[in-house]
Amino acid sequence: MTPQGWWLAGLVVLVVVVLLEGKRQERVHGKSQRRGLMRTGLLELQRQLEPERKIEILLDERADTEADESAAPPAPPSPAAPRAPAAPPDPHR
């Protein structure tokens, strides 16, 4: 067998030994709670970031509304609304 073959065989044996040791420890100590802890941590992070996201959404909506209002043509005055009186002419001119 070539040296590369020995390295490959040694690597396969090492992986199998590590997997078997993990199974043995799981049987002795029970399943790891790290995954659950990680999930809990991510949920906490999401709860902390959620208010920021809500503010971003509100700011985007406000910007969209302002853009829509600025793009719309001006509304004509209502016929029932009284008109402002005209300013009197300036006598000094």
Chain segment 40-87, per-residue pLDDT in tens = 777 787 777 777 777 888 888 888 777 766 666 666 666 665 566 666
Name the residue with higher pLDDT: 18 or 49: 18
Look at residue 5 and tell me if it is in a domain.
no
pLDDT tens per residue across span 57-66? 888 888 877 7
The verdict on pTM exceeding 0.85 is no
Tokens 């959404």 locate to 57
- Three-state secondary structure call for residue 13: helix
User: How far apart are the C-alpha atoms of 70 and 73, rounded to whole Å?
Assistant: 8
Question: Does 21 fall in a domain?
Answer: no
- 57 in a structural domain: yes
Number of domains in the chain: 1
Residue span of the structural domain in which 49 resides: 34-65
Query: Is position 58 within any domain?
Result: yes
Specify if 7 maps to a domain: no
Q: What is the largest CA-CA distance in the chain?
A: 115
